[in-house]
Structure 1
Amino acid sequence: MTVTIRTARTLTAVGAALTLVSPFLAWTWTARYPGNLTLNGYPGGSQLVTLVTGLLAVAFTTRHLAPGGAVRALRAASLAALTSTWITVGAIAVTLGGVVNIEPGGWLAAAGTALLAAGAHTLPDDTVDSPPPGRKLPRAVEIAVITAVFLAAMYILAYGITTESAEEFLAFLPAAGLGVKALSASGLAARLSRITARNRTATAIAAFAAALAFPFTQTGDQYTAIADNILVFAAVALGLNIVVGLVGLLDLGYVAFLGTGAYTAALVSGSTFSTLDIGPWPFWATALLGMAVSLVAGVLIGAPTLRLHGDYLAIVTLGFGEIFRITVNNLDGTSGPSLTNGPNGINSVPNVEILGFDLGEPHTVLGVEFGRFANYYLLLLAVIALIVFVYARAGDSRIGRAWIALREDEKAATAMGIEGFRYKLLAFGLGASLAGLAGTVMAHLQTNAVPDNYKFADTAPPNSAFLLAAVVLGGMGTISGPLVGAALLYLIPAKFEFFNQYQMMLFGLALIIMMRFRPEGLVPDRKHQLEFHDEEVARAEARRAAAEATA
């Protein structure tokens, strides 16, 4: 056994050394492969991913940084390095026409990560079922840790957004996922969760500050436009999370409320294509009107349908979403009254103007020129902050506790005096109004409101299917879950456009894999996590009891 452990440690050490050296050597001879992997002594492109995941693996070779168990964390980090490196090396061979295009640095990276992963998976497991919580740090230190973590997370997300090719993004995605798994297995994620729970205000400020830093790192609008669309998607997903995550209602037509807000804003925007001789209204008035109209729509559709349950409610909401799209498609003056211009929609929606600042014009902030999409990024951050505030306050209130009680057991909640229909209608209306707010910004951002933007399912978000998937994939009942889910579900189709005819198939396959191995979502609610993994928890309790009995 001693020889096996010594051999495993040797393999791990040699693999880690080769992994860290290889990014400083050329992986191919031509700059035709994205990221320019031809330089010696200067990592670039996907080599940076291999270097970072290699450093993460080296960090977990010691128990000091892994209170929950170093070996499982090391295994996950080694797999992150392995998958990223082998995807890149394989893509070099496929893209450039053969393995002859792989330079020695590429072969060294492939061999090093393979040895690292082999050694890590040979080591005996040292997982601790109940790692020590760790001593409480001074408040200033905890705030510094929170800030550093959010800045690092924003840098990683920005790297994913700004990858210039599908090959680079394909190497980045599994590395990021397995890297997060390594942090979770090490116990560091749990400790960070306890630190953020003790400093909620500082956590919110740090998250907002990290997001605010993104446009300052960009020199153009190409990637800021992607970030804008992610924020719109995330804002709507957060609103849907009130209905699905807190109350447990399956809404398959939620995108209609986004469309309601968008059409309302377009009609009063002063656009030359608007059929109403109204406007332009100030943005604050447009936002309030969009929220109010969406709220009325939510109440009108919710009042007769929320007495239904389960599949029946889902079918009715699906029908409502399709009715909305067909209705705005027919309000063209021929099939119905002239209101929405039918399939042509309302175009040339002017840019938002706030306090004399036209968001369509470039402005200089702290010496950095902000273009149109950077301006809208700041507006959308404010919208996200407002929605997060409303979600957090509602979820922690008496109303939020009633919603959760209805979600867990409606009959028991009703027996305890909670009026289910009234509370569900309140959630439906609140979620609809938040979607309407996001819709008002979306109409100005995209400069139009057309029926094709509000389908149940399409190859690109936002649509009802992707919105629901973002909530489930990210984690129902949490704030950060839908944000993470929305970012992933927008980026993956955007980066993998070459899979156009297979997008929905790959999307479905990814969801199946996700639901099989992590049904509680990427950022799960603690209660949901325990429900889905109760057998694992029971086994951990049994191991702990056996260890105590033996001692």
Structure 2
Amino acid sequence: MSTMTDTITPGPADRGPIPLPPAAARLLVPIGAVGTIASAFMSWTWTPDFPGNLTIYGYPAGLQILALVAGALTLLYGLSLWRVKGLDRLNPAGATSPVFLVALSAFTVCWFTGIAIAVDLGGLVNLDPGAWVAMAASALPVVGALALPHPAPGTGLRGYFTKPDQPRAGTRSGLVERAVITVGTALALVVFTYGIGINDDDSETFIGFLLVLVFASWGLIHAGLVDRYSALSARHKGFAATLAFVAAVIFPFTQSDDHNANIGVNILIFATVALGLNIVVGLTGLLDLGYVAFLGVGAYAAALVSGSEYSRFSGVHFPFWAAALTGMAASLVFGVLIGAPTLRLRGDYLAIVTLGFGEIFRIAVNNLDGDSGPDITRGPNGITQIPDLSIFGFHLGDQHQIAGFTLGRFANYLFLMLIVTAIVVLVFTRAADSRIGRSWIAIREDETAATAMGINGFRVKLIAFALGASLAGLAGTVMAHVNYSVNPQPYQFAGAAPPNSAFLLAAVVLGGMGTVSGPLLGASVLYLVPEKLQFLQNYELLAFGVALILLMRFRPEGIIANRRQKLEFHETGQLDVPAQTTLSDGATVTKAGA
């Protein structure tokens, strides 16, 4: 059977906004990419005061490395336009928009760096020749891409941001597909390690990293490579999940600073709680605005039985497994107690009640200080000096030498959280694929229809509420020991450092509701960006509000979309594509092999 591919006969309206011959346009892309790569080996400024020390010839550093990577990727896509053997697989459809978006990754990072040098150091005089070469060279691929045939005639510039149709992917042997998954996982580990390793006070480099990552990823999505990789991972789900876990285990060995391992621990805690919320919001469709309270219940329960001298029960010291069960049980009980009288409500009414529960929890633990109420939580002082965990004789608070690598305290807790996250992912996937999981999805889609089909809506929703609460309690158990203390401050709807209810909900929506990897990615982004961009900490709610508005406008199903919701949000109503279509300007689109 022949493969379905698009053959487009250009008409007048198919041409890009820049009038250049097609051969010249295709030539501009690799020429500009080579110039961008060369500029990375030149000096961009005369003073080392700019972050990254961009003053050395022949040795890229900081933002120059990012420009080098973006330029190399642009070169590959530029050569793919010439159908160079092997490179044409980077852009199977031969589309224009992937080339344009990848070119933007180099353009934005080079121009951002030039502008940042001028602003930070006080004028354009601080730019060395390398910066001027980078800015000029990186503009050439963008010009060339805009001179190529228009990807979606009649749509203007918007067409360059519209994902083109892709030819049907062929099948490879299982060994080759597993090798592709391995390479993709390794690249993801390298990208994450580089991003998390950027110094917290080097916001310019992290912004450049985000620019390259966003536009390059956007280009790969338009080229169809991300969809093909997702299909491979779906076919080899167990292998892909194992590789992801192995990559996470390798991560602490790549870090010389335990602070980065601390960021990793907090991301995993945040992500694990977001996965629990995903059961309630993503699978069942219940808007819970006080979910962070269940995290607090688990953390306080674990702190009370931790053996801390500031605990109300200081003589009680449970081992970790017993403390984890205690935290889960306490959160489960609260989930049932709160859910039983409230889950008969729907929509905004349920959201208001759960928001009230979150505030009641915070106020209650703040008042259980011996003055306003019983002395249980020590009020705003919290329970401090929670001892480190010791599991099977392995003390997580000590440094350990493994294969010549020194692993600090946070690296130890990172390994523990990896196990906890793996358990939560297993519970989520098994529950979602079970009979009860299908009932949750039915309730989410149409509770009235689901009830008419015999599903006990109240019981199903209560199970989801209780299971999500218990998973949050498990993460709270570890968080109490990682932070050495618990206090009421973090357990707010918004305003405090994550995790709080607003950020947890944003992680689920941003990453993709109803998926496993979506909340993990959403939590990583929402935690890492404020951590690296310190100047955003006072405006992070504004920044994330703008980000969510843009996301709802351009990708309402989230970064990693659930297939069912993706079809709902992008319903076209056209299942059959004609073999040949004639456009209004006379151009024809032919389906080869139809």
TM tier, smaller: over 0.9
Q: Kindly provide the amino acid, as one letter, of the partner of residue 64 in structure 1.
A: R
What CA distance in whole angstroms lies between the structure 2 residues aligned with 1:23 and 1:549?
Answer: 43
Residues 488-499 of structure 1 correspond to what in structure 2 (within 5 A)? 488-499=525-536
Q: Kindly provide the amino acid, as one letter, of the partner of residue 486 in structure 1.
A: A
Cα 1:435/1:42, change in 2 over 3 Å: same
Query: Does 2:136 align with 1:118?
Result: no
Which residue of structure 2 lines up, in the alignment, with residue 137 of structure 1? 172
Which residue of structure 2 lines up, in the alignment, with residue 29 of structure 1? 46
Matched-pair contact (CA < 8 Å) for 2:32–2:140: yes
Q: Report Cα offsets for 1:423-475 as digits up to 9, x if no partner.
A: 11001000000000000000000001100011110152110000000000010
What CA distance in whole angstroms lies between the structure 1 residues aligned with 2:453 and 2:289?
Answer: 29
Q: Report deviation, 1:155.
A: 1.3
Which residue of structure 2 lines up, in the alignment, with residue 342 of structure 1? 379
Matched-pair contact (CA < 8 Å) for 2:270–2:504: yes
Equivalent position to 1:148, from 161, 183, 201: 183
Q: Report deviation, 1:64.
A: 2.8
Q: Kindly provide the amino acid, as one letter, of the partner of residue 59 in structure 1.
A: L
Residues 311-460 of structure 1 correspond to what in structure 2 (within 5 A)? 311-460=348-497
What CA distance in whole angstroms lies between the structure 2 residues aligned with 1:238 and 1:504?
Answer: 21
What CA distance in whole angstroms lies between the structure 2 residues aligned with 1:401 and 1:159?
Answer: 39
Q: Kindly provide the amino acid, as one letter, of the partner of residue 541 in structure 2.
A: M
Q: Report deviation, 1:502.
A: 2.6
Equivalent position to 1:475, from 493, 508, 512: 512
TM-score normalised to the size of structure 2? Answer: 0.89
**In structure 1, the residue corresponding to 2:401 is in which secondary structure?**
strand
How many residue pairs get aligned? The number is 550
Which residue of structure 2 lines up, in the alignment, with residue 184 of structure 1? 221
Which residue of structure 2 lines up, in the alignment, with residue 55 of structure 1? 72
Which residue of structure 2 lines up, in the alignment, with residue 235 of structure 1? 272
Once the two structures are overlaid, the 10-residue window that deviates more, 537-546 or 325-334, is 537-546
What CA distance in whole angstroms lies between the structure 1 residues aligned with 2:280 and 2:556?
Answer: 19
Q: Kindly provide the amino acid, as one letter, of the partner of residue 363 in structure 1.
A: H
Query: Does 2:104 align with 1:79?
Result: yes
Query: Does 2:189 align with 1:172?
Result: no
Q: Report deviation, 1:3.
A: 5.0
What CA distance in whole angstroms lies between the structure 1 residues aligned with 2:591 and 2:540?
Answer: 53
Q: Kindly provide the amino acid, as one letter, of the partner of residue 182 in structure 2.
A: T
Q: Kindly provide the amino acid, as one letter, of the partner of residue 51 in structure 1.
A: L
What CA distance in whole angstroms lies between the structure 2 residues aligned with 1:70 and 1:545?
Answer: 18
What CA distance in whole angstroms lies between the structure 2 residues aligned with 1:463 and 1:319?
Answer: 14
Q: Kindly provide the amino acid, as one letter, of the partner of residue 495 in structure 2.
A: D
Q: Report deviation, 1:507.
A: 2.2
What CA distance in whole angstroms lies between the structure 1 residues aligned with 2:468 and 2:336?
Answer: 10
Matched-pair contact (CA < 8 Å) for 1:23–1:51: yes
Query: Does 2:89 align with 1:64?
Result: yes
Q: Kindly provide the amino acid, as one letter, of the partner of residue 67 in structure 1.
A: P
Query: Does 2:552 align with 1:527?
Result: no
**In structure 1, the residue corresponding to 2:176 is in which secondary structure?**
helix
What CA distance in whole angstroms lies between the structure 1 residues aligned with 2:166 and 2:101?
Answer: 18
Query: Does 2:106 align with 1:95?
Result: no
What CA distance in whole angstroms lies between the structure 2 residues aligned with 1:267 and 1:119?
Answer: 64
% identical equivalent positions: 55
**In structure 2, the residue corresponding to 1:265 is in which secondary structure?**
helix
What CA distance in whole angstroms lies between the structure 2 residues aligned with 1:197 and 1:272?
Answer: 49
What CA distance in whole angstroms lies between the structure 2 residues aligned with 1:81 and 1:3?
Answer: 21
What CA distance in whole angstroms lies between the structure 2 residues aligned with 1:270 and 1:120?
Answer: 64
**In structure 2, the residue corresponding to 1:364 is in which secondary structure?**
strand
Equivalent position to 1:273, from 310, 329, 351: 310
Cα 1:462/1:540, change in 2 over 3 Å: farther
Q: Kindly provide the amino acid, as one letter, of the partner of residue 192 in structure 2.
A: L
What CA distance in whole angstroms lies between the structure 1 residues aligned with 2:44 and 2:196?
Answer: 24
What CA distance in whole angstroms lies between the structure 1 residues aligned with 2:578 and 2:299?
Answer: 55
What CA distance in whole angstroms lies between the structure 2 residues aligned with 1:188 and 1:522?
Answer: 15
Matched-pair contact (CA < 8 Å) for 1:270–1:350: yes
Supply the RMSD in Å over aligned alpha carbons.
1.9
Structure 1's consecutive aligned runs of 4 or more residues displaced over 3 angstroms after TM superposition are 125-130, 537-551
What CA distance in whole angstroms lies between the structure 2 residues aligned with 1:549 and 1:205?
Answer: 39
What CA distance in whole angstroms lies between the structure 2 residues aligned with 1:95 and 1:186?
Answer: 36
Query: Does 2:135 align with 1:106?
Result: no
Once the two structures are overlaid, the 10-residue window that deviates more, 50-59 or 330-339, is 50-59
Matched-pair contact (CA < 8 Å) for 2:43–2:130: yes
Q: Which has the higher contact order (CA 8 A, sep 6+)?
A: 2
Q: Report deviation, 1:101.
A: 1.3
Q: Report deviation, 1:229.
A: 1.1
Once the two structures are overlaid, the 10-residue window that deviates more, 471-480 or 77-86, is 77-86
What CA distance in whole angstroms lies between the structure 1 residues aligned with 2:538 and 2:331?
Answer: 34
**In structure 2, the residue corresponding to 1:301 is in which secondary structure?**
helix
What CA distance in whole angstroms lies between the structure 1 residues aligned with 2:331 and 2:274?
Answer: 15
What CA distance in whole angstroms lies between the structure 1 residues aligned with 2:223 and 2:536?
Answer: 35
Matched-pair contact (CA < 8 Å) for 1:16–1:58: yes
Q: Report Cα offsets for 1:314-333 as digits up to 9, x if no partner.
A: 00000000000000000001
What CA distance in whole angstroms lies between the structure 1 residues aligned with 2:580 and 2:283?
Answer: 33
Once the two structures are overlaid, the 10-residue window that deviates more, 156-165 or 59-68, is 59-68
- 1 or 2, which has the higher helix percentage? 1
**In structure 1, the residue corresponding to 2:222 is in which secondary structure?**
helix
